[in-house]
Amino acid sequence: MLRRHLTGTRVGLLLAVGVGAVLGAVFTQPGSGQAASTANKPVNKTAPAITGSAEVGMKVTTTRGTWTGSPTSFTFAWSRCDTDGACITIAGATSRTYTVTTSDVGHTLIATVTAHNAAGATSAASAKSAEVPPSGCPVGSGAITIGALAPPAQLVISSTSVSPAVSRSTKTLHLHVVIQACGNRPVQGATVYATAIPFNQFAAAQATTASDGSVTLNETRQAGFPAAAHQRLLAVFVRATKPGDPQLGGVSARRVVAFRFAH
């Protein structure tokens, strides 16, 4: 009788221990010996990479890289590094895309991507960008005064047009020119010169751009127009310069444009 009672007690204890182990594993009670979750923090497999041109006013973008651990979200940070390799985080630069500023000149850029999941977060950094070169562009996004522009920035003859359309009876050529620099910013105070090619078709003219970067040059007809009996195009040489700079140096720009004769 006593032996039978002991045997039943032993079976009951074994059952209790087994049930306790199962419940402990389920509810992660102390002493269960098992973790409730087997999830791991993300692990980076391929580092993020920066794309785009690291130049003032231009945008650069980072990829996320590739990860294990099924990240559920990503955060981004950009850093500016000096020639000694010391880097500082750029305040407010927390998106995948970053617009390069004049503060970055002479530095390289690094993008840091942090992957998150339920188990935690892991960060990985990109390789350094090329060193941001001097821009010659003033800070800001509006119109530029020509005196604030310096190499390696250059003027851009962004658009040219004539009114009315050129014809064999044209007496005065009204040439409209727009000058820009540093990512489509208008330039005020640039000197614009234009002359027809071949010469002696219309008198050469020169004027200064307004605050919107525009200028109109009025050129009167000369004895050499039209240059040929079957002429169908009028070619015009246009040059934009900064006062005091060499005509073919500094921030100057030049372009040959052509206008088709009206029928």
pLDDT in the model for residue 79 = 98
- For the chain, domains (ranges, CATH) are 43-125 (2.60.40.2700), 144-260 (2.60.40.10)
Alpha carbon separation from 158 to 9, 87, 208 (Å, rounded): 96, 38, 15
pLDDT in the model for residue 63 = 98
pLDDT in the model for residue 38 = 54
pLDDT in the model for residue 47 = 98
pLDDT in the model for residue 6 = 39
Return the structure tokens found at 242: 């900064």
Render each residue's pLDDT in the chain as its tens digit; 263 residues: 434 443 444 434 333 434 444 334 433 444 444 443 457 999 999 999 999 988 877 899 999 999 999 999 999 999 999 988 899 999 999 999 999 888 898 999 999 999 999 999 999 999 999 998 888 888 778 899 999 998 888 999 999 999 999 999 999 999 999 999 988 899 999 999 999 999 999 999 999 999 999 999 999 999 999 999 899 999 999 999 999 998 888 999 999 999 999 97
Pairwise CA distance, residues 113 & 111, whole Å: 7
Pairwise CA distance, residues 140 & 152, whole Å: 17
195's enclosing H/E stretch is: strand 191-197
Instruction: Note whether 128 and 87 are within 8 A (CB).
Output: no
Instruction: Note whether 48 and 63 are within 8 A (CB).
Output: yes
pLDDT in the model for residue 58 = 81
- Residue 150 forms beta bridges with which residues? none
Pairwise CA distance, residues 49 & 72, whole Å: 20
